[in-house]
Structure 1
Amino acid sequence: MQDDNKRFVARDRNWHPPAYAPGYKTSVARSPQQALVSMQKPSVSELSGPDFRALRMGPHDNDLLLNFRQDQSQGQGLPQGERIIMFGRVVDQFGKPVPHTLVEMWQANAGGRYRHKNDNYLAPLDPNFGGVGRCLTDDQGWYRFRTIKPGPYPWPNDMNSWRPSHIHVSVMGPSISTRLITQMYFEGDPLIPLCPIVNTLKDPDAVETMIGRLDLARSNPMDCLAYRFDLVVRGELQTFFENQ
């Protein structure tokens, strides 16, 4: 464990947005009112596990086209919208793959609405789309989901704020201390530079870590486009922590 402590790299808080960002209005009430407490040395529990290799996964946990469909007959009950593949690799800050770690994702449907009781956006729910998925990375740290490209949606930050299309992602990494919660945006989306949440970031390179790139080589012809979204779970080049 001593060697692991030497390799632990604390995240660079100067790269992340401030907790208090008035342009992102809900951050005002959520921001801490007192100074943060610095943990100088991670504990053993923070640097270990959990081990997900024994986690039982369903046959369609990573396939959002199938895991909520109501009509199981051939060719029926599929979600509406643009079919896509989301894939990538989970690595640590030294480029080492993180195998057998849990990757979870959740998203709005093609109309921009979440399957959540508090989402009252006027877009309809899709009866065949649940909007959640999970998988374990393989031996080389790769993960893969099949889903529907989510739609943008308005939110009450100001009179005309819209969230870019995005997919929320949670990945544990090699230990509890490296858990990452972030979002994948889509390459070329014109709403990205207009989003108040994105604009809390001052470093364009940080924004780039949250953009999924079109990868035609991994697309399924006549079926799905593919977007690659790699995740770095700790260190200088880590993917941005949107919730921190």
Structure 2
Amino acid sequence: MPLNKGKRFVERDRTWHPVAYTPGYKTAVARSPSQALVSLQAPTVSELSGPDFQHLRMGPHDNDLLLNYREGNGQDGLPVGERIIMFGRVTDQFGKPVPHTLVEMWQANAGGRYRHKKDQYLAPLDPNFGGVGRCLTDEEGWYRFRTVKPGPYPWPNGINTWRPAHIHVSVMGPSISTRLVTQMYFEGDPLIPICPIVRTLNDPEAVQTMVGRLDMAHSRPMDCLAYRFDIVTRGELQTYFENV
């Protein structure tokens, strides 16, 4: 389902997504369907309406992960790690901006650990970093976050399997049923082509849609680098999204 209403329908290319059964991604095997998928009927009005985020009240630092966690927890320091800006533009399949849509992100800290009770990686938690942020796109579809570059981390898919540094991104459409989730990897990371999750994609171009590009023009001298990550909701240049 495209994010913007009133647009002509463009059929989704089903070959863009990996097959459901991917033994190389071990934890996905038990979740892969054993029977053919069922096509649902046209969505109802309740599935296509709301929420409207234009009047959502944002905190002053909701999109600034250097500040948004420490203030709510009585901390006065800054997170450890390489400071970066993550920004981009959300557009529809026809290149038109998607304004006032909710963009959420979550990530590991600079050591590669999430602030989650089930994350037992030996890297320490950062007392000044929560790892989550949100913002609304502006009239031209632009969004922006300030954060630290996440670290890679091991996961039990193999003896020595590591996930590339990445930031999870959620984009909300005109209804709950049109929420899209993807990941941004970092340009030049050697772990990208050997990650079992990335390798479930057969099309190298699909992988490239999830790579944030270094943008020196938007970097801040003596402060932080910037990575641009544009999100296209559907069409020939669509960003690859996870099935959620």
Would you say 1:142 and 2:142 are equivalent positions? Answer: yes
Tell me the CA shift for residue 187 of structure 1: 0.2
1:12 maps to: 13
CA distance in 1, matches of 2:142, 2:202: 30
* Identical-residue share of aligned pairs (%): 82
* Shift of residue 154, structure 1, vs aligned partner: 0.2
Structural mapping, 1:1-244, within 5 Å: 7-39=8-40, 41-69=42-70, 76-243=76-243
What residue identity is the alignment partner of 1:115?
Answer: R
- Tell me the alpha carbon deviations over residues 197-242 of structure 1, each in whole angstroms, 9 at most, x when there is no partner: 0000010000000000000001111001000001112234221112
CA contact (8 A) 1:80 1:126 kept: yes
Q: Deviations over 1:37-75 (max 9, x none)?
A: 1135343344443210111111100000000116878xx
Q: Closer, same or farther in 2 for the Cα pair 1:240/1:167, shift >3 Å?
A: same
What is the TM-score normalised by the length of structure 1?
0.92
CA shift at 1:89, angstroms? 0.4
TM-score, L = length of structure 2:
0.92
Structure 2: distance between partners of 1:6 and 1:135? 25
RMSD: 1.9
Query: Structure 1 unaligned runs (5+)?
Result: none
Deviation readout 1:116-175 (Å, 9 max, x if unpaired): 000000000000000000000001100000000000000000101100000000001344
SS of 1:139's equivalent? coil
8 Å Cα contact 1:178-1:234 kept in structure 2? no
CA contact (8 A) 1:179 1:233 kept: no
Q: How many residues align?
A: 240
The answer for unaligned runs of 5 or more in structure 2 is none
Distance in 2 between the 1:160 and 1:170 partners? 29
